[in-house]
Structure 1
Amino acid sequence: MSSTAASGGVLAVRALDPAAGGTVVARLDRGTGVLDPERHSLRNGPVRLDRKTVAVLTSDKRRTELMVSRGIGWKYAVVPLIEVHGGQAVGVPAEVARALADELASRGVKETTAVLAPLRAHADHLDAGGPVASSPLGRYMGLGGGGALTSLGDF
């Protein structure tokens, strides 16, 4: 299930894998600006979004994610944006992508690569009725043609 919902001051990001049954994988507290992934480790955990935080999009052939980090990557949190399951691309809803972009921008988070524009473009694409597979975020992983990985084939 590819659903995410904003409730109150918290944006809950749900798992994109249909087998996960819509479990929450991360929460963004819009009041405090803390992005908190469900899974924690020594380095993976809550990250406060502010001017000391860096955001980047990461991609491979199966997923595109948003990663935010502090302290030169010492502490980070990851949010899934698009994943491929059973041959189908599943992505976060438009309102979630837009809310993430708005929070990152309003808190002065630094972009090491283009992050805000692709998030907003994904939201606009879905609002216009476009499929996830041809979303601007999907192109990072070679979906929908035109992505860097499409010319490489399988390796």
Structure 2
Amino acid sequence: MKKQVASVEEVQRKLESFCVYQDRCHKEVEKKLEEYNLIPEAKEKILLHLLQENYLNEERFAKSFARGKFRIKKWGRVRITRELKFRDISSYNIKTALIEIDEDEYVKTLYELVEKKKSLIKEINAFKKKKKIVDHLMYKGFESDLIFKTVNEIL
């Protein structure tokens, strides 16, 4: 549904607060812009303003996204990369974002997830139990070689 808005300045203010509330990627801001009946020149003017005033910064978005998804949702690098690509983030910014994840913390989190999942699975068959843990960690987006190494150490 298109929203009726009085002026370009009003839309610009709304999008500024949209970006200030939480780091946004270009795709989210462009989608939000589509909600308003604006001519392409006005949309470009607003996007340019947001970029120049640093309301919209893809590198900052990618870094905070990677940190947040890893720390809060315990996602692995594969899933974070996939989600960032889905949001049309550049390869350079994805690489930069993944540097934000501390390697020791990453491995520690993987071990914690294996232990937690191991205690939750009631499966008696060792192979089935291992498969369930591996599937869970693959879904979370951890690298398969790291998963197998960790699971084999613990089980």
Q: Which TM-score band applies after superposition, normalised by the shorter structure?
A: under 0.3
Larger radius of gyration: 2
Q: Which has the higher contact order (CA 8 A, sep 6+)?
A: 2
TM-score, normalisation: structure 1: 0.25
Output the TM-score relative to the length of structure 2: 0.25
Greater helix content: 2
